[in-house]
Structure 1
Amino acid sequence: MDGSGRIVVITGAAGGIGREAVAAFLRDGDTIVAVDQAGSGVLELAASLGPQHSGEECDIGSEAEIVAMFDRISARYGRVDVLINNAALGPTMTPTVDTGIDLFRRTLSVNLIGPFIMAREAAKRMSNGGAIVNTASLAGVLGNPRRNAYSASKAGLISFTKSLACEWASKGIRVCAVAPGYVRTPMVAELERTGKADLAAVRRRVPMGRMGRPDEMAAALHFLASSRARYITGSVLAVDGGWMSFNQPGDAHPPVDGTPDLELNCPAASKAARVVLVTGGARGIGEAVARKFAANGDTVIVADRDGEEAASVAKSLGPAHVALTVDVSSDADVVALFEAIRQRFGGLDVLVNNAAISDTFRPALEQTTADLERVLDINLTGAFLCAREAVRSMRAGGMIVNTGSINTFLPFVPRHAYGASKAGIDILTRCMAAELGPSGIRIATVAPGYIRTPGVAALEQSGRVDTASIRRRIPMGDLGRPDDIADAVLFLASEEASYINGSILYVDGGWTSFGNAGFASDFSDETVSEAAE
């Protein structure tokens, strides 16, 4: 069981998301310190878990109470391994002119300053491998009327997620955040009861046609705190059913009668093997993804322009897996690929759109139309063609994972075509999430940073990249591994990620969170060799 034996502190533990987070970490065999406000029932919750667990009543808005609580935690357990910063005051929906300064300050105290103090005190007691995951909100990235204090506090929480991730990466402590959309929690139920939220309208605004469940938020918190996310820090993962991906007037989903069952109940886990297509699956990240799905019990189709290498990978996976040759930039090739899949397997469950090439690295004044078209045809048009045909072949509950890049967010010079192609991948994901959500097909982007792949090795050998400088630019001080991306892809395609739609997950060692001048890490050959083990 992943993370067995960790000391996990969970705030807001007596609430909807908090209780599900407690359950998720309990399944790992972790020791839980459940924290909530006085009278919340947190002590009774902790007592029901068993004698090795503990409960704490604490006002997260009080620094003195937080410090005293961590002193008690230290005295009993000696350390903290994971902090889930989940407690928050909900939005009051008070008009700006009616919002008193005391209310504004109290919201910041509980939702922003308190989580910072919690993180500070937890980090003092963490060693290499520690993880802090903050519960932010879409309210921290999208404007909402009459949610001034709440939204500002969540935006601040996202900001210090990134800054703490950069500061503490050298200590081996990761800091991430989950940004939930509307979730069926007691907080949202109260907004509905008081007439401050129209949940029927909310469902029409979500491409998936429902609100999320607390267990779906807890699953994301749990993943980001796990060893499967070891190269993810500073990232903020939206778990919103596609809310952020919809950008037009009208409804994102047809009206729903009553409350959808999937909003109330977590379906039983499926044990059936899925049919998974991985493009660019013959080497590097694609090969790692193919091996991860095969180890998960799925049937993998390794598709690549290099048919011999694809066949070699498929053969090494076992007799159930197959290889197919494809040029993803060829419409005819892609159509034939999916026709072959339908004939052999009847349909498809997961597409991992991974095939891509680098660019010429020539200055813009020397780049030609052919240079641009070559990169865009494979990286962007090819991904679109595969997604288009996959949708025609997908069974209910299908999933598409597109491989983006840190260049989606921070383009490099002179890699103009590559950056444009990866920016296109991100918005392609969002457009399809908004369109396909009502049909039950999810889509997300995984965005790698610099990863130790044959492609990066070739760039290094040709003098096109300086990996020593790159490592100093990465807060975690090293390049990632193909398995880091494969773990993220497997999560996004799993039932654990059932409310993630249209989101982008950066797996970059903190690259996109660093905004300072100078170095992000104290890189040395010794630290790199240790990190690579």
Structure 2
Amino acid sequence: MSNPRIVIITGAAGGVGRTMLAEFAGRGDLVIGVDVAQSGVSEAVQALGDQHFGFECDLSDERNIMQLFEQIDGVVDHVDVLLNNAAVGPTMQPTLETDMAGFEKAISTNLYGPFVLAREAVKRMPETGGAIVNTASLAGVLGNPGRNAYAASKAALISMTKSLACEWAERNVRVTAIAPGYIRTPMVAALEKQGKADLSMVRQRVPVGRLGRSDEIASVAGFLASDAARYVTGSVVAVDGGWMSFNQPGTAHPPVDGAPQTELARPEADDAPRVVVVTGAGNGIGRAIAESFAANGDHVALIDKDADAVRDAAKALGDSHLAIEADISSEQSVAAAFAQIESRFGHVDVMVNNAGIADLFKPALEQDTSDLKRVMDVNLSGSFMCTKAALALMQGRAGFILNVGSINTFLPFAPRHAYGASKAAIDILTRCFAAELGQKGIRSATLAPGYIRTPGVAALEDSGKVDSVAIRKRIPLGDMGRPQDIADAALFLASPAASYINGGILYVDGGWTSFGGAGDASDGGQ
């Protein structure tokens, strides 16, 4: 039996912090909870068992943090995971009424403290590496009145997440962040009690119609700190119920009477097999995704244009799965494919739009509309048609739409104009789905791979269209990812553990989209 990981969790006596303690202790980890004096952190930790530790510390003071690590060094010999969760909340004061002492206190606690904690934790991480997960906020992404110091500190923390991810990749230390929306915590309850937040209005602004639960943040942290996220670093995951995806006047969800039950407690798990549709499932990433859902006990409908490949893939999974030859750029072909799915399974629970093609690497001066249309017909229109067909089979059911994007969603490459355009379009399509379908119990998300070792990438290497050595050097983690890395992320996003992720994007790219420097991000494994 392997030794338990040693996990430090700050803000451990608060609403999210306590669920993080439970999440990681439940994974078999040894947890060290940290919070301010008289917070009850020792009692919270001891409730989990005598093997865990609780310490008090003022995280706005570097000297106190150094003293904290002296205490930590007295009980453990290394650190595997740090969860920078502690923060002081927004004062909700107008700019002219905000004193500098309060402003700087927020920066000290929410930025300087996490930096010092990360620095000291990394010194104590083994050569095999570790993970740091920072709790940021949507306030660090979207502006709000009266949240100046809080919002600025969270934006700074997001930026620092990316820069530390790039610097510490060579140590195999991954650094990620979570950006929660409104979560039902004592902090939010206090804002409501003080008349600074109207939670009934908040619920109407969230497409899923409720605040998030603390355990929904803890479960995302659990994934990001796990081996299933081994190729995720520098990524910032919005856990907001779709807040960021709604962009129009009015409300995203009809009024609800009080707090919905799913806001108050995690629903009981449904262990029944789901029906999962995966396009482009004959090879590479799509096949790995199909295999992971099948291993999870789900029934998978595999769709691919390559008849032999999709039959082989489905045959390897067993008789409870379905192989379908289809061209997703054809409306007739898509309709026929989903008629087979309806006949076999009766409904759909999860739609994974993975199928895609690359463009032809021609300069723009040599391209015409047909070059763009060839890519958009498959990557965008095909995904949209499959989603429509899947939604018709989700009527009255909770469901999930996963669109596979790309690092080109965020950073287009030249001359891959059509491919980048299609993946940018896919991301915004995901957000439109989140804004519209959240109130119907259907979530959506975008999964954005970086360079993954697939047959398609191998073909590009063989044709001289990509330089694998240069690519590895451009990746902070120093290598391409594996199809299983994307499959693990897909399985997580479609799970109850990701139940408050709606409309967000998860980059699984080894840190590619976090690197903004000149030169190489790594030595490329040389």
Task: Supply the AA of the counterpart residue of 2:85.
Answer: N
The alignment partner of 1:410 has SS state of: coil
The alignment partner of 1:411 has SS state of: coil
Gapped runs of 5+ residues in structure 2? none
TM-fit CA distance, 1:129? 2.9
| 2:452 is the counterpart of 1:451 | yes
| 2:469 is the counterpart of 1:482 | no
**Rounded Cα–Cα distance in structure 2 between residues aligned with 1:190 and 1:207:** 23
TM-fit CA distance, 1:68? 1.3
Tell me which residue corresponds to 1:429. Answer: 430
Task: Supply the AA of the counterpart residue of 2:318.
Answer: G
TM-fit CA distance, 1:7? 0.1
The alignment partner of 1:247 has SS state of: coil
TM-fit CA distance, 1:524? 3.2
Q: Residue 4 of structure 1 contacts residue 28 of structure 1 at CA under 8 Å; is this kept in 2?
A: no
**Rounded Cα–Cα distance in structure 2 between residues aligned with 1:6 and 1:258:** 40
Tell me which residue corresponds to 2:388. Answer: 388
Task: Supply the AA of the counterpart residue of 2:305.
Answer: R
The alignment partner of 2:398 has SS state of: strand
Q: Residue 213 of structure 1 contacts residue 264 of structure 1 at CA under 8 Å; is this kept in 2?
A: yes
> Structure 1, residues 332-358: CA drift from partner, whole Å, max 9, x if none?
111121122112111000011000001
TM-fit CA distance, 1:328? 0.5
TM-fit CA distance, 1:71? 2.0
**Rounded Cα–Cα distance in structure 2 between residues aligned with 1:431 and 1:124:** 43
**Rounded Cα–Cα distance in structure 1 between residues aligned with 2:150 and 2:483:** 38
TM-fit CA distance, 1:72? 1.9
Count residues with an aligned counterpart. 524
TM-fit CA distance, 1:436? 0.3
1:507-518 equivalence runs, <5 A: 507-518=508-519
1:53-68 equivalence runs, <5 A: 53-68=52-67
| 2:45 is the counterpart of 1:20 | no
Tell me which residue corresponds to 1:314. Answer: 314
Tell me which residue corresponds to 1:275. Answer: 275
Tell me which residue corresponds to 1:116. Answer: 115
Tell me which residue corresponds to 2:326. Answer: 326
**Rounded Cα–Cα distance in structure 2 between residues aligned with 1:46 and 1:260:** 29
Q: Residue 4 of structure 1 contacts residue 29 of structure 1 at CA under 8 Å; is this kept in 2?
A: no
> Structure 1, residues 269-319: CA drift from partner, whole Å, max 9, x if none?
111000111000000000000000011011111110011110100000111
TM-fit CA distance, 1:51? 2.0
Tell me which residue corresponds to 1:289. Answer: 289
The alignment partner of 1:49 has SS state of: coil
Q: Residue 95 of structure 2 contacts residue 146 of structure 2 at CA under 8 Å; is this kept in 1?
A: yes
The alignment partner of 2:323 has SS state of: strand
The alignment partner of 1:294 has SS state of: helix
The alignment partner of 2:447 has SS state of: strand
Q: Residue 21 of structure 2 contacts residue 45 of structure 2 at CA under 8 Å; is this kept in 1?
A: no
**Rounded Cα–Cα distance in structure 2 between residues aligned with 1:129 and 1:252:** 42
1:176-325 equivalence runs, <5 A: 176-325=176-325
TM-fit CA distance, 1:523? 1.9
Task: Supply the AA of the counterpart residue of 1:79.
Answer: H
Tell me which residue corresponds to 1:504. Answer: 505
**Rounded Cα–Cα distance in structure 1 between residues aligned with 2:89 and 2:303:** 47
**Rounded Cα–Cα distance in structure 2 between residues aligned with 1:376 and 1:302:** 21
Tell me which residue corresponds to 1:90. Answer: 89
Task: Supply the AA of the counterpart residue of 2:366.
Answer: E
**Rounded Cα–Cα distance in structure 2 between residues aligned with 1:183 and 1:381:** 35
**Rounded Cα–Cα distance in structure 1 between residues aligned with 2:9 and 2:3:** 16
**Rounded Cα–Cα distance in structure 2 between residues aligned with 1:74 and 1:300:** 49
Q: Residue 22 of structure 2 contacts residue 48 of structure 2 at CA under 8 Å; is this kept in 1?
A: no
> Structure 1, residues 216-259: CA drift from partner, whole Å, max 9, x if none?
01011110000000000000000000000000000000111111
TM-fit CA distance, 1:4? 6.2
Segments of 4+ moved more than 4 angstroms: none
Task: Supply the AA of the counterpart residue of 2:60.
Answer: G
TM-fit CA distance, 1:88? 0.4
Q: Residue 231 of structure 1 contacts residue 509 of structure 1 at CA under 8 Å; is this kept in 2?
A: yes
The alignment partner of 1:76 has SS state of: coil
- Residue identity over aligned pairs, in percent, reads 64
Tell me which residue corresponds to 1:358. Answer: 358
Q: Residue 301 of structure 1 contacts residue 321 of structure 1 at CA under 8 Å; is this kept in 2?
A: yes
Quickly say closer, same or farther: Cα 1:287–1:4, change in 2 above 3 A. farther
Judge which range, 264-273 or 46-55, deviates more: 46-55
Tell me which residue corresponds to 1:528. Answer: none
Tell me which residue corresponds to 1:139. Answer: 139
The alignment partner of 2:75 has SS state of: helix
TM-fit CA distance, 1:121? 0.6
Task: Supply the AA of the counterpart residue of 1:315.
Answer: K
**Rounded Cα–Cα distance in structure 1 between residues aligned with 2:3 and 2:256:** 41
Gapped runs of 5+ residues in structure 1? 526-533
